[in-house]
């Protein structure tokens, strides 16, 4: 039997051996037998630290008492019925399977009638979603991982696949042996940067300046693709006018790199025929996250580096099924599948779901839900497969906010989340190993997730949502025989998308066990984009002054991110001894020169403070830009430090640009 990894967006396929041991599947095109330590350790997570009984209490001051699912679900249904739809919110996760997501989204938008159904993918991929929609007209990743095998130049900007997409990094290393050139643009000389032909230690938040300098130079030297621009894009006049008004030297200086390095980047771009740019949180999680995405995609459009093998802008999705959540329509900004809120789409969806309760327009996004809660505007908050108290920025504010919600429900497979102490009801769900369904990896590959242990009396996430739907009186709408029935209803719904690009309706639930299905293959190959004019939209963007530049009080910029063997809050990985060997859970990286200036020794206990909070941890010396610090998100306290600013378009948090100070603890 085979299943797919439930950690990162690469989506490696595993063979299940005796005693549930996992091994990479050699014939699977995504990982070809490869895997990483974290993924393989999933076989050790089936029993550890599990939440196994529904728990309820009246107030967060009380102790939890055990309950039955039906009692807890009746209380949830009652609370929903006692308020108005607009005061109910669902907070979902890019780690849920498509079927779990589909039923939750149908419950929220279709039957409770609340538009406030969003997901932790807002903190992760929202800037890329908006970037693709504004340029290509559709949320579509126009590159596959296999393109790495044939490209000539790979630019990784704000991404650290050596730690965050480990098997993809193995593929990159292999491609380097046949001559692939790699550029890494990151304020930290990461494990990925150490593999690069060119490393540019960018100043945080200045990527647009670098990209503008590059575009300006490429156009000046005639390396843009005039035929492509003329035939397939709009907005070139505005772009060129904007770029010409900028000064190249000032842009390079602002980006914090040397002229010499810039020239090397230009040469690499001009010398290579096929180019991919890959990016992740270093660009997405920023106040200008959407604009960062627009800049990268525009660069690829004006050079015609798109819609051909081995080329294109490749947003590297983080979570295993953040793509699936986008396809199902789990973001508050979409209604269902790839349908936005328009009158026509509402009519189609109302007919499909047989409901008259659909919201009129999009709802609160992830952080906005907590902002609304802080204003006392939410009565019921249902959280599934994610830990917002841990992961949302400015944690003190988020803790205050959640305390103002009268019913907080947490659906989790494990004990010990940071959200659990704030919940009134905690419902257990079965995790990886016990559940089945489908998920979509970062390059649109849809695969079957298989249960390899019997799940017993506990429910899978979608079953919990279906039971809430039934308790609200919608028996028929939520009466599914099994997971396959949910998938097939979802498939049928993908036919509602106007251009039928989301051709998940062509997949087959049984066949997915052995053959992956890649949706949307070739839909842009004729360069007809999904915008009204069918032309891609070029965007001219510039760097705005950041409201939180380092100053005398808070002279450092805090960067946050991942380490190879830990998965986010570590509800699973932190429980496994062997995954602690590579890096500890808690530390702060500081440049040795900064440390020397402040009298900080390696290994010393240090306190880091921002305008929002403070924490004490251990100093480690590292090669990162002087003036920046790095704390891994395996330190669950990290968001006591971060600011609650969000990108105005994508609503994604600005996790990487908080001003902080550091000093010896004590
Ligand atoms: N081991 C492991 N793997 C994971 C995860 C995990 O928890 N653990 N999580 C998964 C998820 S959900 C996600 S979203 C992905 C994230 O994947 P990545 O984004 O590759 O991971 P991060 O560690 O957040 O790396 C972001 C990089 O951006 C850099 N950066 C910060 N600010 C800037 C900037 O202004 N400009 C530029 N150019 N760079 C900047 C940081 O120094 C950091 O190296 O990883 C996925 N994979
Ligand atoms: N400072 C800072 N903050 C960040 C980020 C950053 O880079 N810096 N990154 C952001 C990003 S990109 C992301 S994706 C988020 C991640 O943040 P979270 O989503 O909060 O992180 P996880 O620890 O993966 O939480 C998943 C939860 O699901 C539970 N779980 C596991 N299996 C199941 C299951 O089958 N069903 C259910 N119901 N629950 C299950 C786990 O026990 C765990 O509590 O963090 C965001 N926050
Ligand atoms: S690279 Fe990602 S998908 Fe593959 S085994 Fe590791 S965590 Fe799982
Ligand atoms: Mo993420």
Residue 542 lies in a domain: no
* Ligand 1 center to 285 CA (angstroms): 9
Tell me if 385 CB under 6 Å of ligand 2.
Answer: yes
Residue 167 lies in a domain: yes
Nearest-atom index, ligand 1, CA of 565: 1
Q: Specify whether 311 is located in the same domain as 337.
A: no
Six token digits for residue 402: 């959640």
Q: Specify whether 167 is located in the same domain as 253.
A: yes
Residue 148 lies in a domain: yes
Tell me if 461 CB under 6 Å of ligand 2.
Answer: yes
Task: Give the number of residues written for the chain.
Answer: 666
Residue 621's nearest CA partner among 639, 606, 641 is 606
Q: Specify whether 439 is located in the same domain as 575.
A: no
Tell me if 304 CB under 6 Å of ligand 1.
Answer: no
Residue 534 lies in a domain: no
Q: Alpha-carbon torsion 295, 299, 304, 310, what sign?
A: negative
Q: How far apart are alpha carbons 304 and 326 in whole angstroms?
A: 27
Q: Specify whether 57 is located in the same domain as 76.
A: yes
285-340 per-position pLDDT tens digit: 999 999 999 999 999 999 999 999 999 999 999 999 999 999 999 999 999 999 99
Q: How far apart are alpha carbons 425 and 317 in whole angstroms?
A: 31
DSSP string, 421-475: GG-SEEEEB--TTT--EEEE-TTSEEEEE---S--TTPBPHHHHHHHHHHHTT-T
Q: Alpha-carbon torsion 636, 637, 642, 645, what sign?
A: positive
Residues around ligand 4, an ion, CB closer than 5 A: 124, 318
* Ligand 2 center to 201 CA (angstroms): 29
Percent of the chain with pLDDT over 90: 98
Residue where a domain terminates, one of 9, 26, 45: 45
Q: Specify whether 374 is located in the same domain as 263.
A: no
* Ligand 4 center to 562 CA (angstroms): 10
What is the 3 state secondary structure string of 160-171?
CHHHHCHHHHHH
Alpha carbon nearest to ligand 2 atom 45, residue: 391
* Ligand 3 center to 410 CA (angstroms): 26
Q: Specify whether 39 is located in the same domain as 64.
A: no
485-522 per-position pLDDT tens digit: 999 999 999 999 878 899 999 999 999 999 999 999 98
CA end-to-end distance (rounded Å), the chain: 55
* Ligand 1 center to 126 CA (angstroms): 14
| Beta strand ranges found along 333-428 (DSSP E) | 334-336, 339-340, 380-384, 407-412, 425-428
Residue 537 lies in a domain: no
Alpha carbon nearest to ligand 1 atom 24, residue: 561
Cα atoms in the Cβ-side hemisphere of radius 13 Å centred on 160: 18
Q: Specify whether 502 is located in the same domain as 583.
A: no
Residue where a domain terminates, one of 316, 340, 364: 316
Tell me if 9 CB under 6 Å of ligand 3.
Answer: no
Q: Quote the pLDDT of residue 484.
A: 98
CATH (domain of 589): 2.40.40.20
* Ligand 4 center to 568 CA (angstroms): 9
CA 442 from centroid of its chain's CA atoms: 10
Q: Specify whether 23 is located in the same domain as 59.
A: no
Please tell me the pTM assigned to this model.
0.98
The total number of structural domains in the chain stands at 4
Q: Quote the pLDDT of residue 398.
A: 98
For strand 425-428 and strand 55-56, is the pairing parallel, antiparallel, or unpaired? antiparallel
Q: Quote the pLDDT of residue 19.
A: 82
Q: Specify whether 74 is located in the same domain as 185.
A: no
Six token digits for residue 403: 């305390």
Q: Quote the pLDDT of residue 265.
A: 98
Residue labelled with tokens 């060997």: 581
Tell me if 54 CB under 6 Å of ligand 1.
Answer: no
Alpha carbon nearest to ligand 2 atom 4, residue: 391
Nearest-atom index, ligand 2, CA of 391: 47
- Which ligand gives the minimal distance to the CA of 572? 2
67-94 per-position pLDDT tens digit: 999 999 999 999 999 999 999 999 999 9
CATH (domain of 8): 2.20.25.90
Residue 186's nearest CA partner among 498, 630, 639 is 630
Six token digits for residue 157: 């900007």
Residue 316's nearest CA partner among 508, 54, 125 is 125
Q: Which string of b and e fits 407-446 if b means at least 16 CB within 10 Å? A: bbbbbbbbebbbbbebbbbbbbbbbbbbbbbbbbbbbbbb
CATH (domain of 159): 3.40.228.10
Q: Are 449 and 437 in contact (CB under 8 A)?
A: yes
Residue where a domain terminates, one of 316, 332, 349: 316
Q: Quote the pLDDT of residue 34.
A: 98
* Ligand 1 center to 64 CA (angstroms): 36
- Which ligand gives the minimal distance to the CA of 208? 1
Q: Quote the pLDDT of residue 500.
A: 84
444-494 per-position pLDDT tens digit: 999 999 999 999 999 999 999 999 999 999 999 999 999 999 999 999 999
Tell me if 386 CB under 6 Å of ligand 2.
Answer: yes
CATH (domain of 384): 3.40.50.740
Q: Quote the pLDDT of residue 393.
A: 98
Alpha carbon nearest to ligand 2 atom 8, residue: 560
Alpha carbon nearest to ligand 2 atom 32, residue: 431
Residue 216 lies in a domain: yes
Residue 395's nearest CA partner among 414, 420, 375, 367 is 367
Q: Specify whether 241 is located in the same domain as 328.
A: no
Residue 540 lies in a domain: no
Q: Specify whether 597 is located in the same domain as 654.
A: yes
Alpha carbon nearest to ligand 1 atom 6, residue: 567
Tell me if 633 CB under 6 Å of ligand 2.
Answer: yes
> Mapping DSSP to helix (H, G, I), strand (E, B) and coil, where does residue 478 land?
coil
Q: Quote the pLDDT of residue 589.
A: 98
* Residue 211 domain boundaries: 140-316
Residue 548 lies in a domain: no
Tell me if 35 CB under 6 Å of ligand 3.
Answer: yes
Best residue among 391, 451, 467 to mutate for probing ligand 2's pocket (most ligand atoms within 8 Å of CB) is 391
Q: Quote the pLDDT of residue 497.
A: 85
Q: What residue ranges of the chain have pLDDT lower than 70?
A: none
Q: Quote the pLDDT of residue 527.
A: 96
Six token digits for residue 555: 């002279």
Q: Quote the pLDDT of residue 666.
A: 87
Q: Specify whether 158 is located in the same domain as 227.
A: yes
């Amino acid at each position: 039997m085979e299943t797919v990894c439930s950690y990162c967006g690469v989506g490696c396929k595993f063979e299940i051996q005796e005693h549930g041991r996992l091994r990479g599947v050699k014939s699977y095109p995504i990982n070809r037998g490869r895997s990483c330590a974290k993924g393989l350790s999933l076989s050790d997570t089936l029993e550890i630290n599990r939440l196994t009984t529904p728990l309820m209490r009246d107030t967060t001051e009380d102790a939890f008492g055990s309950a039955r699912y039906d009692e807890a679900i009746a209380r949830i249904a009652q609370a929903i019925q006692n308020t108005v739809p607009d005061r109910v919110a669902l907070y979902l996760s890019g780690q849920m399977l498509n079927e779990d997501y589909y039923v939750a989204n149908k419950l929220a938008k279709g039957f409770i009638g609340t538009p406030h159904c969003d997901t932790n993918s807002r903190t992760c991929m929202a800037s890329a979603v908006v970037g693709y929609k504004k340029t290509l007209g559709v949320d579509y990743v126009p590159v596959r991982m296999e393109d790495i095998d044939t490209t000539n130049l790979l630019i990784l900007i704000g991404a650290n696949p050596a730690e965050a997409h480990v098997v993809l990094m193995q593929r990159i290393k292999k491609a380097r042996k046949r001559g692939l050139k790699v550029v890494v643009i990151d304020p930290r000389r990461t494990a990925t940067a150490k593999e690069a032909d060119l490393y540019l230690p960018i100043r945080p938040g200045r990527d647009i300046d670098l990209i503008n300098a590059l575009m300006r130079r490429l156009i000046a030297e005639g390396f843009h693709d005039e035929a492509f621009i003329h035939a397939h894009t709009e907005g070139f006049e505005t772009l060129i006018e904007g770029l010409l008004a900028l000064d190249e030297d000032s842009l390079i200086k602002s980006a914090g790199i040397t002229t010499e390095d810039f020239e090397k980047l230009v040469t690499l771009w001009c010398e290579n025929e096929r180019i991919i740019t890959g990016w992740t949180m270093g660009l997405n999680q920023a106040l200008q996250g959407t604009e960062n995405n627009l800049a990268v995609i525009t660069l690829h459009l004006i050079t015609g580096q798109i819609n051909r093998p081995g080329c294109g802008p490749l947003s590297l999705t983080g979570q295993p099924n953040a793509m699936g959540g986008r396809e199902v329509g789990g973001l508050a900004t979409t209604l269902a599948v790839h349908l936005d809120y328009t009158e026509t789409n509402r009519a189609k969806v109302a007919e499909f779901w047989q409901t008259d309760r659909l919201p009129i327009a999009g709802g609160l996004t992830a952080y906005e839900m907590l902002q609304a809660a802080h204003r006392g505007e939410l009565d019921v908050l249902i959280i599934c497969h994610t830990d917002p108290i841990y992961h949302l920025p400015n944690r003190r504010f988020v803790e205050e906010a959640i305390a103002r919600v009268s019913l907080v429900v947490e659906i989790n497979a494990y004990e010990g989340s940071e959200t659990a102490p704030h919940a009134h009801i905690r419902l257990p769900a079965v995790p990886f190993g016990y559940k089945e369904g489908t998920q979509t990896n970062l390059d649109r590959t849809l695969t079957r997730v298989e249960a390899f242990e019997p799940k017993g009396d506990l429910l899978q996430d979608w079953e919990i949502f279906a039971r809430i739907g039934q308790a609200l009186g919608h028996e028929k709408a939520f009466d599914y025989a099994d997971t396959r029935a949910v998938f097939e209803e979802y498939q049928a719904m993908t036919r509602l998308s106007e251009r039928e690009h989301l051709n998940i309706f062509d997949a087959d639930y049984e066949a997915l066990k052995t053959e992956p299905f890649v949706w949307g293959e070739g839909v842009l190959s004729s360069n007809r984009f999904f915008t009204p004019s069918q032309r891609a939209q070029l965007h001219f963007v510039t760097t705005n002054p950041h409201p939180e530049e380092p100053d005398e009080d808070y002279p450092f910029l805090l960067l946050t991110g991942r380490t190879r063997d830990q998965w986010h809050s570590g509800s699973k990985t932190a429980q496994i001894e062997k995954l602690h060997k590579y890096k500890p859970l808690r530390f702060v990286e500081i440049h040795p020169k900064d440390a020397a200036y402040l009298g900080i020794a390696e290994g010393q206990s240090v306190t880091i403070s921002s305008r929002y909070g403070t924490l004490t941890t251990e100093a480690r010396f590292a090669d990162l830009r002087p003036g920046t610090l790095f704390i891994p998100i395996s330190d669950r306290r990290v968001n006591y430090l971060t600011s609650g600013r969000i990108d105005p378009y994508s609503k994604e948090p600005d996790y990487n640009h908080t001003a902080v100070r550091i000093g010896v603890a004590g």
